A = this chain, B = another copy of it.
Amino acid sequence: MYVPYFDAASSAPLHPVARQALLAALDEGWADPARLYREGRRARLLLDAAREAAADAVGVRPDELTFTSSGTRALHDGIAGALAGRRRAGRHLVHSAVEHSAVLHAAAAHEAAGGTVAEVPVDRAGRVAPGAYAAALRAAPGPTALACLQSANHEVGTRQPVAEAAAECAEAGVPLLVDAAQSLAFGPVPGDWSLLTASAHKWGGPSGVGLLAVRKGVRFAPQGPADERESGRAPGFENIPAVLAAAASLRAVREEAAAEAERLRELVDRIRARVPRLVPDVEVVGDPERRLPHLVTFSCLYVDGEALLHELDRAGFSVSSGSSCTSGTLTPSHVLRAMGVLSEGNVRVSLPLGTAEEDVERFLAVLPDVVRGVRGRLGAPERAEEATAASAGSASGDSGVSAGPAGSAGPGAGGPGAGGPGDEEAELVVDSLGKLCPIPVIELAKVIGEVPVGGLVTVLADDEAARLDIPAWCAMRGHTYEGERPADRGTAYRVRRRA
């Protein structure tokens, strides 16, 4: 059965050209390219050809391009090598708040080794501001060794101002590493960047191939044990069939993408425009214009992301989510957090090249019922109900709603943490301790109608998503978010009813 796959940003199915090149190279490219005999020379020719093709697509010279075993390795080893190469210049690392986790992990390792790290913030669209890198370099505690910026965000599709950031870094004499994993299929990365990484399985190439480009003149000191292969930058026996398939498919995908980009952009625009009309209480996130053509992300209020993914999967659609309940770590995606947008019921749709229009239409046809079903099972309020107390407390069985000053709301909500001294105005306290996303927001929505306009609701919650989703809910509903305070258990989030 054909099933539409809408998670190209995680991994793309193998492109036919990749498959063909891989098959051919399996018979020709298995030998050690360092050997002098014919099988080795043949392998070397294939490796050289792959490097030339991939370098051409990236826009560097072949001797500036290294094949690594994955995009993650390219990032880990690229960042470590660039930091070590400039150790004498400084030990400060700058990256945006919405980089791939591989960058964050490399930064954490750098910090653990005594380096310093600063994050460049993004706006609500997930975009770094022009001038932000220049500002971060000026604000650095010491000379900056390296700056990192993705070409486009992997969760919300927002394109970053890479050329501008590269110019700001060049001005300060700091190399910029660009993570081009999400955008390389759609074209080379513009600007005067110093290093670039990518991952072949994102563009329909095989698993097991990453790219690391280091432009001439950039100081680079590979870390870890020495190895003679790939200019000493990527240890281990070369995976020639895979790199050949990666290079061949990148070229093929580029050609198709040139023709496909506009069509996919239109399909994504359709999703961006119609999902909020079809499904109530949805926030579409990411920059609407400066974005990848094929990727769109939205979040659905009062929805459990894991249940939503499960139901979409049952309906035949494979998508991913940045909601906390789907991450295994119980924290929402750091990208959504940095943007300050709703994380519950989060769905990322990333269309592979060639996605049929009717599949997108079918997704739009199916989505409203799927969301309605998940909301119904969670006892989420209908929009009209929110202003009434009709269903308050009926959903999750034990929602701990109590009236009166927060200070008297029982042991879980007691103490000055939830309501300070003198804060004696009438308010409601919702005890959502121990409850996971989206329950705290659902319980808040159910009781907001019980306080008068101008009245206060305090939600006690220990789920990490509440920190993001309660303010986001306030912004969507027009209520005033008055901030959080530590409570005896968890955190007290204060919301003032405005309408």
Binding site for B on A (CB under 8 A): 3, 5, 7, 10-14, 19, 22-23, 26-27, 30-32, 34-40, 69-73, 76, 80, 102, 105-106, 108-109, 199, 201, 206-208, 210, 224-228, 235-242, 306, 309-310, 312-313, 317-320, 326, 328
**Number of copies of this protein chain within its complex:** 2
Contact A199 B237 (CB under 8 A): yes
Q: List 12 A-B contacts (CB under 8 A).
A: A5-B31, A7-B32, A11-B30, A14-B27, A22-B26, A38-B318, A71-B237, A73-B235, A105-B226, A109-B226, A206-B239, A207-B237
Chain B residues near A69 (CB, 8 Å)?
69-70, 73, 208, 236, 239
Given contacts A39-B5, A108-B226, A318-B38, contact A72 B30 (CB under 8 A): no
A34-B328, A36-B310, A37-B312 given; 18 more Cβ-contact pairs under 8 Å: A3-B38, A5-B31, A7-B32, A11-B32, A14-B27, A14-B30, A22-B26, A35-B320, A37-B317, A38-B313, A69-B208, A70-B235, A76-B225, A109-B224, A207-B237, A207-B240, A208-B242, A242-B242
Given contacts A13-B30, A239-B208, contact A72 B37 (CB under 8 A): no
Q: How many angstroms between the C-alpha atoms of A224 and B108 in the bound complex?
A: 10
Q: Which 9 A-B pairs have the closest CB atoms?
A: A70-B236, A69-B69, A37-B318, A208-B239, A105-B225, A72-B236, A207-B239, A208-B208, A109-B225
Contact B14 A31 (CB under 8 A): no
User: Which residue in chain B gives the minimum CB-CB distance to A10?
Assistant: B32
Chain B residues near A208 (CB, 8 Å)?
69, 208, 239, 242
Chain B residues near A313 (CB, 8 Å)?
36-38
Chain B residues near A309 (CB, 8 Å)?
36-37
Q: How many angstroms between the C-alpha atoms of A238 and B248 in the bound complex?
A: 21
Shortest distance from the beta carbon of A138 to any chain B beta carbon, whole Å: 27
Shortest distance from the beta carbon of A213 to any chain B beta carbon, whole Å: 18
Contact A72 B36 (CB under 8 A): no
User: Which residue in chain B gives the minimum CB-CB distance to A29?
Assistant: B207
Give the most central of A22, A32, A34, A35: most B CB within 10 Å: A35
Q: How many angstroms between the C-alpha atoms of A339 and B320 in the bound complex?
A: 57
Q: How many angstroms between the C-alpha atoms of A238 and B12 in the bound complex?
A: 13
Q: How many angstroms between the C-alpha atoms of A310 and B5 in the bound complex?
A: 51
Chain B residues near A23 (CB, 8 Å)?
23
Partner of A207, one of B3, B30, B72, B207: B30
User: Which residue in chain B gives the minimum CB-CB distance to A210?
Assistant: B236
Chain B residues near A31 (CB, 8 Å)?
5, 7, 10-11, 13, 318
Q: How many angstroms between the C-alpha atoms of A178 and B350 in the bound complex?
A: 44
Given contacts A69-B70, A72-B237, A236-B70, contact A319 B109 (CB under 8 A): no
